[in-house]
Every structure is written in C-alpha cells, then in structure tokens.
Chain A
Amino acid sequence: MTQPLLEIRDLTVAFRQDGAETLAVRNASLTVAPGETVAIVGESGSGKSVTALSTVSLLPDSARVSGSVTYAGRELLGADERTLCEVRGNDISFIFQEPMTSLNPLHTIEKQLAESIELHQGLRGEAVRARIIELLEKVGIHDPASRLGAYPHQLSGGQRQRVMIAMALANSPDLLIADEPTTALDVTIQAQILELLTDLKRQENMSLLFITHDLGIVRRIADRVHVMKGGEIVEHGPTAELFAAPRHEYTRTLLEAEPAGRPDSPPEGAGEIVRTEGLRIWFPIQRGLLRRTVGHIKAVNDASLSICEGETLGIVGESGSGKTTLALAIMRLIRSEGPIVFMGEHIERLHARELRPLRARMQIVFQDPYGSLSPRMTVEEIISEGLGVHGVPEGRDTHVMVGEIMEEVGLDPSTMHRYPHEFSGGQRQRIAIARAMILRPRLVVLDEPTSALDMTVQVQIVNLLRDLQKRHRLAYLFISHDLRVVRALSHKVMVMKRGDVVEAGPAELIFSAPQTAYTRALMAAAFDLKAVEGGGI
C-alpha cells in the first residue's frame, strides 16, 4: 500500500470528570490511504466520533489523549496551535451531523463560506464570490447566485447539509471526515447526499473517513470498515469481505439487527378505537395590530383514518409532512377542525377538564428518550405520574404497580429510584413506554419511538411493542420515516406529503404495489440501501 494519508496508531482517549477517568477510546489504530473511503461503524457511545475529533485535537479540555496521529507524515497529537489551524479546514475538513446547529443562524450562506475561503486561500472580493458559486453548484444547489443571501433557516435540511459540504470542500481538502452526515435527514435526502459525497470524492480525489451507525450506508460507499465497540476496534477489513464473513460476534449481531417479521393479524371482531373524518389542522398567520388572519400554514389537510383494537396504523412521510401534527391533534394536544371519535365518543369539542379522564385511555411515546423524561425526577416518579392524576385502582399500591410495569417492559424494578441519566437510550425508551402503559391505555401514539436508538436496540423495542400489543389488544398509531420499522409493525399504512394524505391502505398492498410516485420514491430511498445489503446477510 502507498504511504497512508492519515494514520492513527494506538490512540487512547480518556475523559476525566469528578476525579474519575472514563476510557472513551482504547488502543485504536487505523489508516486512510489517498482516495480511499474508510468507515467507522458502531453504536452510540462506542467512541467513533471521539476518534475522529481527536485527529485534529477538537476534543474538550477534559480529554487525555495518548498514542499517535500522523497526517502525511506529520505528527498531529501535541502539535502546536499553528500547525493544527493549518491542517484544520485546509487539509482535513469536517461535516457534522446536525446541519441546523453547525451553521451560524445569523450569517448568510455567502458569509459563512467566504470566511473559510478568505482565511485559507487569501482570495478577496469577486474571486471569493465566484468560488462560492462554483462550490454551491458542485454540491447541487440550483441557481446558486440567487441563494447567496439566504440564511440557514430559509434552507431545507438537505440544502443546509449541502452548504455544509460546500464549506468543507471550500479549500479542496485531502481528507473529509463526515460524522453521521445523514442521520438527521429524511431517507430521500439521505440517498441524494450519499450520492453527492461519492461523486465529489471521485472528482476531487479526496479521502473520506465516514462515521455512521448505519450498515446500509457503509456497505454502499466504504472501501474498508472498522467496527468499534466500547472504545475498541473489534474488527476491520475490506467492506465486501467483512460483510460476507464477519469474524467477530459483535459484527454479526450488528448485521443481524434489522427490524424483521410482520405484525400478527389483528383479533377478530375488534371494535373501533379512534376515527377521524377530514381532520384539518391549519395554523393561522396573523399580522398587524389587530392580529388579522392573513393566511394559514396548512399542516394537515383532510386526514381521515380509523384504528381498531389490536391494530397498528403506520404513518410515513418526510419531515414536515404533518405526521406528528396529526397525531398530536388526535390526542387533542393541539387545535384542529373536524370530528375525532375516540371509543365511540366525539372528543373534538371537549374541554380540558372533560378530557382528563379520557387521557388515561390514550397515551403517547415520543421520539427522543433523552428529552421526554424529566431529568430531575426518579424513574418511579416518572412512571407513576399518571397514577397521581387518574388515581390508583382500588386495592393497588403505586409502588407495586410501578414494579410490575417495569418488569413487563423489561426493566429491573430495583432501579426505580434512579434518575433517567443513569440509563441507556433503549432503557429510557422502555421507561417512556412504561409511563404510557401503566394507565392501561387503549390507544398509544408512537412518535418515531425507535429513530433515536441504535439498530440492535430498535429490534428489541419493536419486539416489545409487538408483544405489548398482542397482550393488551392495544391500538397503535405509529409514526416513522423508517419504512423498515413501519413494515415490521403496521397493519395499515398512510403516506403523507406536505399535509396531504397521498396514499392509504393495508400495509402489504402499499409495500408490494405502491400507487403514487411519491411512495415509490420513498421506498426506493429506504429499501435501495437494503436491497444492496440484503444479499450477503
């Protein structure tokens, strides 16, 4: 092999806090050759991002780094600030996960890009502008000259990520480090961005160090893969070889982790739990002194649905399509127009007080298991909160009930006095599910309950949900952009696009014979990756 561009040898990173030391990375070694794409795969907390950040010393001060990182023969660990500044942005560029927070919201696109170009290339005036337009064209932004004055919030998520890539490319880096660049994006956008990255890599002859948790992406773009677990690289090798014959047990678990199976057919003669007819959610835009309504943001137009006992309705669509808004409206957490019938009762006009007893029968589980649990309450307090509102059933003890429900969702009841931050993401999602289940609801709204979780954990949560549904004849309203999970759970599917229901019907029918172009595009983006990876597994 030729002289590697980036070489990491025996890298060990530890974080010190409260006098205790936590090892984040242990003896990691990897190389990236010129023009090569190397992927680091692992679940959250495996140390993959820390490894990448340590290459150009971007870690917080509490980190203790040892080992060696050489870039084109130059040692970077312990290098002085000047060398690092030269390398950062110029030779090595970064793309981060969250395109909204990586761009300064107060600067225009032109200004953000100009900063780095002026700094590293010394261009001025018109030359800078020309270069910016060239870059934006390269990353596939239409009519770049007119977008120069745009602010980040005026761009969509995919466009923002393109701008981020343009920034990273501004100084023609030799190595691009991409830290989960598509995780926050919709599947359709993700497919576009991946295509863009592979094209650019070929054109610019860059090396790419790609960090992700998604094996589908790795399989599609990487030449070589390093699998990380608990701070150690447990296995590495060329992509095809590794996927064909994984040696390490952990790699095999990762490869097998895919929400599989189909939901059991709903019970016979099941009653209807919830129904909406032509539900409409428009947010008025008010202007002027008298707050006159001048227009509406149309979040959901004309949504009709019906869910029976033991049945799951999956709602799919890209971000901004109104899926979550629809679910919140059905739960009467936001205002809407049109009838909502819950267990035979019209609830669209009920007051908060009249609604309260019904709240026990409809529950919601949110996407982010970190944000949906109050950090200042113990697990017992969180789970038993609903009992405090709706009352403990006669002859039952809160403490015992919390213990039982924790056992049912697969948590150790002896941990009920701990705080949420002491649990992993999957465990937190189980806590959130327990909080909803303790009231024995009939309808549970699941708002992307698996998308913030690692693949292996996703599978467990999907199995848990299916299990709970069968045992308690629950009706699920399942919202997700991940079609694989939807397929594993739903009996019926509804596809939404910008507030409109574009397609609805039995799950099997929609997945096997999608009627609209939009649904087909959605599936191509989601399953194309899968179709490629499907072969060897």
Chain B
Amino acid sequence: MRLSPLNRRRWRNFKRNRRAFWSLWIFVVLFGLSLFAEFIANDKPLIVSYRGELHFPVVKFYPETAFGGDFQTEASYRDPEVQCLIVSGGLEECFDDPEAVMADAGDGIVNGEPIAKGWILWPPVPYSYDTPNELDTAAPSPPDAKHWLGTDDATRDVLARVIYGFRLSILFTLIVTAVASVIGIIAGAIQGYFGGWIDLGLQRILEIWGSVPELYVIIILTAIVGRSFWLLVAIVILFGWPRLVGVVRAEFLRARNFEYVRAARALGVSDRKIMFRHILPNAMVATLTFLPFIITGGIATLASLDYLGYGLPSSAPSLGELTLQAKQNLQAPWLGFTAFFVFALMLSLLVFIFEGVRDAFDPRKTFE
C-alpha cells in the first residue's frame, strides 16, 4: 500500500513519540499472541504422537478410541489413563496403574516388551480458561509452580483466564467501537450535512435515546434472552453510537459551507459523494480524537457489567468476573492484583497509543 505524503508525515510523527510507538508494539505483540490463545493456554495438547502417527488435538477432534480407549467422546487428555495410552502406544495395563506404566515407558520397554512409544507436546500453559483442576488445597489456591497466577474459586487457572479474558475484552471493544463508529459517523454526517428539520428531528430522537437507562435494558433483556456475548455487543452498540454523533455533526456543519464542498456541488456531485469523499476525510481528525474514549469505554463497560453479574455467562473468561471474585475472596489477593495489573496495562497501552495517534493527526502540532 502506498501511503500518501500526509499519512507518511503522520506515521513519522507517531514514531517520534517513543512512548506511543513502544506501546503500540507491546500491544500488537500481546494482542497478536492472545489471538492464538488456544495454542498458548489449552487443556488439549498441541501435538500427540501415537504409535508413530502425529495427531493435532488443538485443531481436531479425536475420540478416546483413537488412542485405544473405551469412549466415543473426545479424549480427555488430562486424564493419566489417556496420557498413559498415548505414551505406551495403547497398553491395556494403563487402565490399572497409569502412573507406573508411564514411569516404566521412559526407555521404550514395558515389562520387558518393546512398545510403540508415543509423546505429548503441551502448550506452555496446559489449562484452558474453563478447565477445572484437582487441587491439594481449597480453591482459590495461591500461585505455585503449576498455576503461575494461582487459581480462582472454581479451581480454574487464573493465567489461562487472563489470556483469554484479554482477548475477549479487546475483541469486544474493537467490534463495538467499529460498528458504533460507523453508525455514529453516518448519523452525524446526515445531521450535519442536511441540517434543518432532519437535524432537529434526529437531535430530539438522540436526546430521548440518551435518557433510556442502559443498565435496566440490559438487566431486562438478559433476564428474557439469557446472557450471551453477542447480545451484549448488540446492546452496547445500541447505546454507544450516539457518542460520536455530536462531533461528526459539528464537523459536517462546519465543512458543508467550505468552498471545496461548494465547488463539488457546482460540479453536480451527488450529496452522498460529497459527504463521504469530500467532507468525511477532513472530519476524520476530530473523530479520531474521540475514538480512544470509546475504546477504553468499551472495555470498562464490559468489565463493570461482568462485575455486576449482568455481563457474560459466568463460564466465559472475563476480567470483570475476576474482579468480582477478588472482592468476594479478599483472602486471595493474587486475584485482585492480577485483575488490577491486567486492566492497568491494557488501558495504559491503549491510552498511550491513541495519545500518539491524536498528536500525529494534529496538523497544528509541529515536531522537531
């Protein structure tokens, strides 16, 4: 893609803000990694070698029978029996004493007989966000060698939940911001460009819409429909789009009498084309300065709804739910600290990045 000189200048200005630039890189790496959360934290192995054949449980379904077990259901790889079957190539002895067989299989010979030795490659964090664990102590358990950030009150690994929760928060806010911005920009553009009665009418609708209590609507709807990710996305978009309307409307009101807009009108260019080809690119800067608030606002909305218990289903990896658990289990401070640091890191990175973006788009700001 060839960047226009203007965008190249902006990119240079952005790079010059070291904090924003490094924040962007850290964020891209973290978010990129979290997109592959299934390969980082999962209760299914990445690769399994069974009797010399390679299997990929992360991406594919294998019944237990595929490894010499009894059930048609998906192999539960965390069971010692299944692990023993894989390592020993399907020995019957595994059902009696898997630990002993596995210990014996290290040299490729069990009870004096050679076996088809297999192996299992686990992800760095061998738990998924909803994997229940058998603990020696009561849940939530403090951090140890197996669970680096401890477990929560349902014995689930906190690190795995944080990795998935980070991804969920970011994706949620990106979807909400993208859709709400598109709706908001179109509505604001129409209001500002046409003005008059259309403007007046939409303004009144917005005022009425803005006074509908969002939280009650969510409580009522979740009571009827049940909690789900997409319902939450829909509701937050529904109540989020008016935030951009004001800015875009003002920009369009200002720009509709600019001479280049008049010139386009004199050429006979259609209204829609004038709005989106001539005015919008020039109204984008003001819009952009507003985006960071919407993005961080989206994360905060999701977290607070989860915290209140009206958000995602409780099995979902939610940072808000982690915060709620931290409040309910004050004796387990690792929950609270984890939630705090994850939020702090995520929001700080986003704020730093968008601060840089805003400055880079500001034509009046000069950089040495």
Q: Which residues of A does B touch, CB under 8 Å?
A: 15-19, 60-62, 328, 331, 333, 355-357, 359-360, 362-364, 366-368, 371-377, 385-386, 388-390, 419, 422, 432, 435, 439
Contact = CB atoms under 8 A, between A and B. Distances in A.
Interface string B263-300: 11111111000000110011000000000000000000
A372 B269 contact: no
Interface in B2-34: 4-6, 9, 12-13
Interface string B57-72: 0000000000000000
Contacts of B281: 374, 376
Nearest to B279: A374
Nearest to A21: B368
Given A18-B9, A19-B368, A385-B269, A364 B282 contact: no
Contact of A17 (B258, B268, B368): B368
B267 A359 contact: yes
A59 to B, nearest CB: 12
Contact of B268 (A19, A61, A386, A435): A386
Nearest to B366: A62
B259 interface: yes
Nearest to B7: A376
A15 B368 CA distance: 9
Contacts of A61: 366
Contact of A386 (B5, B258, B267): B267
Contacts of B366: 15-17, 60-62
B150 to A, nearest CB: 50
A60 B260 CA distance: 29
B5 A419 contact: yes
B327 interface: no
B287 to A, nearest CB: 14
Interface string B342-368: 000000000000000000000000111
A371 B260 contact: yes
A77 B306 CA distance: 61
B264 A419 contact: no
Contacts of A19: 368
29 contacts: A16-B366, A17-B368, A18-B12, A19-B368, A331-B266, A333-B265, A355-B268, A359-B267, A363-B267, A364-B263, A366-B259, A368-B259, A371-B260, A372-B259, A374-B281, A374-B282, A375-B282, A376-B281, A376-B282, A377-B278, A385-B264, A385-B269, A389-B268, A389-B269, A389-B270, A419-B5, A419-B6, A422-B5, A439-B267
Given A16-B368, A18-B12, A62-B366, A372 B260 contact: yes
Contacts of B260: 371-374
Nearest to A375: B282
A356 B274 CA distance: 14
Contacts of B263: 364, 366, 372-373, 432, 435
The 9 closest A-B pairs by CB, nearest first: A359-B268, A372-B259, A376-B281, A371-B259, A366-B259, A356-B268, A386-B267, A374-B260, A62-B366
Interface of B is mostly: helix
Contacts of A371: 258-260
A7 to B, nearest CB: 30
A422 B9 CA distance: 13
B146 interface: no
Interface of B: 4-6, 9, 12-13, 258-260, 262-270, 277-278, 281-282, 366-368
Contacts of A385: 264, 267, 269
B93 to A, nearest CB: 73
Contacts of A364: 262-263, 266
Given A374-B260, A419-B6, 16 more contacts: A15-B366, A60-B366, A62-B366, A331-B266, A333-B265, A333-B266, A359-B266, A359-B268, A367-B259, A373-B260, A375-B6, A377-B278, A389-B267, A389-B270, A419-B5, A435-B267
A331 B263 CA distance: 11
B368 A62 contact: yes
Given A371-B258, A371-B259, A419-B5, A18 B367 contact: yes
A169 to B, nearest CB: 31
A474 B359 CA distance: 47
Contacts of B9: 18
Contacts of B368: 16-17, 19, 62
B245 to A, nearest CB: 22
Nearest to A291: B197
Contacts of A375: 6, 282
Contacts of A362: 266
B101 to A, nearest CB: 69
B268 A390 contact: yes
A502 B330 CA distance: 87
A62 to B, nearest CB: 5
A385 to B, nearest CB: 6
A244 B12 CA distance: 51
A377 B261 CA distance: 13
A371 B254 CA distance: 13
B278 A374 contact: yes
Contacts of A367: 259
Q: Of B262, B266, B282, which is in contact with the most chain A CB atoms at under 10 Å from its CB?
A: B266
Contacts of A17: 366-368
A389 B264 CA distance: 10
A328 B262 CA distance: 10
A439 B266 CA distance: 12
A377 B258 CA distance: 15
A390 B4 CA distance: 27
B6 to A, nearest CB: 7
A260 B318 CA distance: 77
Given A17-B368, A371-B260, A376-B282, A419 B4 contact: yes
A61 B368 CA distance: 10
A61 B5 CA distance: 24
B190 to A, nearest CB: 17
A359 B282 CA distance: 25
Contacts of A357: 268
A178 to B, nearest CB: 26
Nearest to A368: B259
Contacts of A439: 267
B267 A366 contact: no
Nearest to A328: B262
Nearest to A16: B368
Nearest to A447: B259
Nearest to B269: A389
A385 B12 CA distance: 31
Contacts of B270: 389
B229 to A, nearest CB: 37
B294 to A, nearest CB: 23
Contacts of A355: 268
Contacts of B258: 371
Contacts of B13: 18
Contacts of A331: 266
B268 A366 contact: no
A17 B262 CA distance: 33
Contacts of B12: 18
B268 A360 contact: yes
A439 to B, nearest CB: 7
Contacts of A376: 4, 6, 281-282
A17 B278 CA distance: 28
Nearest to A365: B263
Nearest to A357: B268
B5 to A, nearest CB: 6
